[in-house]
Amino acid sequence: MSVVNGYRCVACAGTQPAEFGGYLCPHCGGNLDINYDYAGAVSRIDDEGFGVNTDGMFGFAPLLPVECTGSFPLKVGATPLYPATRLGRSLGLNRLYFKDETVNPSASTKDRASAVVLRRALELDVTTVATASTGNAASSMACMAAGLGLHAVVFVPEKVPAAKLAQLLCFGAQVLAVRGNYDAAFDLCLEACAEFGWYNRSTGLNPFTREGKKTCSYEIWEDLGRQAPDWIVVPTGDGNLASGIWKGWRDLRAAGLVDRLPGIVCAQSENSAAISLTSRRVVESGESGDWSRVVLAEVNASTVADSISVDRPRDGLAAVRAVVESSGLAVTVSDEEILQAIPEIARSTGLFLEPSAAVSWVAVRHLVQNQQVGDNDRVICLASGSGLKDIPSAQRAAGAPLVIDPDIQSLRRALAGRQ
């Protein structure tokens, strides 16, 4: 039995019982955080164990809000944590790592959230699940829905990258490409779910999304020998990934499994920086006493990092809290740096990342330049999505190949730089 004992609003701290069936706080409309009976979780951990298993992230069942009975059709989580020795040394960092989330079934970290939400949908006997998405949440939900035999309806901006759209259509989702941005798609999905009774997976709105993403922290903890790193650098749009990463560590501390926690680094494009701007303002003004009074910065997002292009972050306050409460940092980087980072990371690690994922490494460089991390700090970058998701951006960064005639003279000329 799951040991959930209720919900607490991230903004006003109002609570709801475990039976609560809504998405947001009925008092103030804030996002809800799921609470556990941690003593109960500890005794489940003693009985069942706690760590990735053949079912990937569902090996963490004692601290998940869904029943994990029966195997899941796709393996989510249990992703590798790679030391990035050469890339780290290029900045004088001795302990840089990448958590490679591109190996998840739909090739992004969103699969962790979709897996938990769809297990929840099965518990609720729902047959149609819906989501709004910049692309990855939708392709992830469509992927898991295909595995489970559920019907998926997705709302994406008309300009979604082609690869993500192709994934969606192949997985058999009902795809609605909305003439507008992610925020417009989000609002329409909300209205559609109310009208048609679909279960809404939309990021942040659905409190189970954060619970899926937190398993990424459990894995890092397991891989580091049940310890926290110094920093986890999280590419951030809606803020659900950052708040999920932080939730994982809060859980581990509450269950007595760790005492020192990492700083959460919110890494954003300067062209989509609502959470970073707000985090800095909150730290500088000391307005963190009453979270219900914190208003998110308003931005008009437009960045090459499409997965984190968000005007109104749907889990923004929880992400700001993650940065502030973890004594973390907020970093903003330029689109040009993001594109350059794609081949840079690929060449020295073997990881091919989409622009949004590459943001983590650019943020690390800023932190080193500003002397905000130490040479021996353990720093983890989340490699949150695959480069195959957005080929045109990768091509812009990588340039063109040498084109030659099929003979050895042409090859010699080309290698000598005289085409």
**Interacting residue ranges for ligand PLP, rule: CB under 6 A:** 108, 110, 136, 203, 235-242, 307-308, 354, 356-357, 384-385
Binding site residues, Zn ion, CB under 5 A:
9, 11-12, 14, 25, 27-28, 30
Minimum Å gap between C-beta 352 and ligand PLP is 13
Of residues 212, 170, 178, the one with CA closest to residue 66: 212
Contact 358, 338 (CB under 8 A): yes
**Long-range pairs, 22-31, Cβ under 8 A, ≥24:** 23/200, 23/205, 23/206, 23/207, 24/205, 28/292, 30/292, 30/317, 31/204, 31/205, 31/207, 31/314, 31/315, 31/317, 31/318
In the complex with ligand PLP, which residue's Cβ is closer, 136 or 279? 136
Minimum Å gap between C-beta 132 and ligand PLP is 11
In the complex with ligand PLP, which residue's Cβ is closer, 181 or 236? 236
The DSSP 8-state label assigned to residue 20 in this structure reads: -
Minimum Å gap between C-beta 65 and ligand PLP is 18
- Angle between helix axes 215-223 and 240-254 (nearest 10 degrees) is 60
In the complex with ligand PLP, which residue's Cβ is closer, 3 or 241? 241
The DSSP 8-state label assigned to residue 153 in this structure reads: E
Partner from Zn ion, ligand PLP, none contacting 10, C-beta within 5 to 8 A by type: none
- Cα distances (Å, whole numbers) of residue 24 to 77, 190, 210: 27, 12, 13
Partner from ligand PLP, Zn ion, none contacting 25, C-beta within 5 to 8 A by type: Zn ion
In the complex with ligand PLP, which residue's Cβ is closer, 42 or 338? 338
In the complex with Zn ion, which residue's Cβ is closer, 25 or 299? 25
CA distance 179 to 416: 49
Contact 171, 107 (CB under 8 A): no
Whose CB is nearest to ligand PLP?
385
Minimum Å gap between C-beta 121 and ligand PLP is 19
Minimum Å gap between C-beta 392 and ligand PLP is 16
Q: Where are the alpha helices (DSSP H) in 293-350?
A: 316-325, 335-349
In the complex with Zn ion, which residue's Cβ is closer, 188 or 190? 190
Minimum Å gap between C-beta 414 and ligand PLP is 36
